[in-house]
Structure 1
């Protein structure tokens, strides 16, 4: 009888130990702890842990944008988060656009580098950091190239435009940027450009006050016009940062390399304060309550014209809260 009782006790102990072992193994799997294999080494976590990680994985920076150019579209930026928007040819265009509208009830930020080409003389037309309620891929090329700045046809939109080419035709509404020594030569400008509710590009035409060149106003009193630094047209990337404060509904864009001082043969940078400009490298824009409610696409657009062209491109280095 004693030997039989001893066997029962041993059986209970073995059964209990097995139950604990199974529970412990299950717990290790649930927690993603490595389990010992036959060779006495620890393998990677169980598949269930990997599946959970995959389910919550966020897109990489290059996957947040779609690229559409004259030569067709591609799903994302390339693996270096870079997009070539235009080539060395006339009437070209290209967009790198967020796959979703920005949620303007939340702060967001984007940093990267913009490329404004290498043709100082004959360069154009423009690079546009564009915000629009509709995806610009819906635009017809003829509506967006050249002096239309990649935005004509997009209703209630705005963009910070690096305009390398002055169009004297009043239909484009370009700001005539000049200083006392330039005579008939006009340098590029950086300013906000906007469209009306029907998508028509609004004028940014210069309005002189007769006091001095830098005291000129604009048809758009909030255009924030400053002279463009032509030294950025060197084929290199120039850092930019976009920050949005949801509490104040304000977008701030900074491009430090656009600031410059006077040098031999060149005047100091013109900052047109009567157009709302605050510096040579920082611009602000307040979104409307309707834009905040509906959300906006963010695009980086490059367009060339019938007489001028450049190789425009963009690289995205970091993003925050644009995958809403």
Structure 2
């Protein structure tokens, strides 16, 4: 396997208007880490997601969806004492969606360090998957992974519970012990924890990341109070502290990557915005995909802003994620019919 990730994936219900007015809802699944996993699988990379779901039909939907997208789920816990989490999306204004979580005490919040240890051991035993791309065959039929192995984490999982935080800590320790690259997306969620709580964890985690990804307003969470306000200087401080590279998402302004060799900016791709939800996860998937392909910083940013554009141009958390053969479609002239 090339990428190992874990976190909470929930059943997602998407309404067509205000929740209080009722109406129909579409049923899917959503979770930051599994969104990234699906994005990578569609691009032809072997990827494994581990989490905990309830021993319920909602949990079965989560696992069935991930399997159908070519994501490995072996080792995922079926928790008979807690339900699968629930997420409601409420479109309120054009381009503005409200999110309602029902995840307190969920199965996903109860994942523990020993769950991760068992799954990570299996990940290591499976090897790198170089040249096989078994997870991506259904979408692309190609495999381009180098020998790199990546652990992808987000700042959501440690916010779920003390046990989930310990599990994530253990995963980082195992990755460091086995020369597995660590990818960390800060992904701050104010409904899960405060800025002070998040900062206490991110200040410790960020310098340990080989790839640190954050929006410009999340970078301060990774630094001590009183740090400079300028993103370039903030990124420089994180690089000096030990981070391998710092990638700053700027929304419609694109993204900038900072390394010890300098900085590089990529503008965003211009597309009609249908749904901004999931754009950050799609960006991460594109960046890691190009990293696994051995691309340079410019290539990583280019693929990241491309996959991010695909996400905002389609409804859903992960549904618009492109396959490798679709990456060039954004360059097609308007009105083009691809046959």
Provide the TM-score with structure 1 as the length reference: 0.31
Higher relative contact order (CA 8 A, sep 6+): 1
Relative to total residues, which structure has the larger helix share, 1 or 2?
2
Provide the TM-score with structure 2 as the length reference: 0.30
Relative to total residues, which structure has the larger strand share, 1 or 2?
1
